[in-house]
Amino acid sequence: MFVCDAFEDYYKVLGLGVKTKTNVIRARLIALFLSIQASLKRTNSLEYEKLKKQVYSPNLDDLEMAYFTINEWMDTKKIIRVDNIKDIDLTRVELENEEKGT
């Protein structure tokens, strides 16, 4: 996810002792917010207004909270689900049919 990459880059630079800004995180988070804002506003208008303020804030704490909120919302809407891996049958159909005699 591109927002996650921005957080990673931010903390890499910060870890080197270089003071950095949250511009890239903010820009990517705004892009993500704009792509889901209609659905978010329709389903949870109170959360939408709070989130809108956080997303446009240059404050790192606000941006992190906004990111957590968006991730949780996307998870509840089943837009992202990293913990539910579908079982995939990797056997070859031809071999399975031969074994069954079909």
User: What HEC string does the chain produce?
Assistant: CHHHHHHHHHHHHHHCCCCCCCHHHHHHHHHHHHHHHHHHHHHCHHHHHHHHHHHCCCCHHHHHHHHHHHHHHHHHCCCCCCCCCCCCCCCCHHHHHHHHCC
Per-residue pLDDT of the chain (102 residues; tens, 9 = 90+): 689 999 999 999 999 999 999 999 999 999 999 999 998 888 877 788 899 999 999 999 999 999 999 988 888 887 776 655 555 566 677 777 777 776
Domain ranges of the chain: 2-100
Based on C-alpha coordinates, what's the Rg of the chain? 21
Confidence (pTM): 0.73
What pLDDT, on a 0 to 100 scale, did the predictor assign at position 75?
84
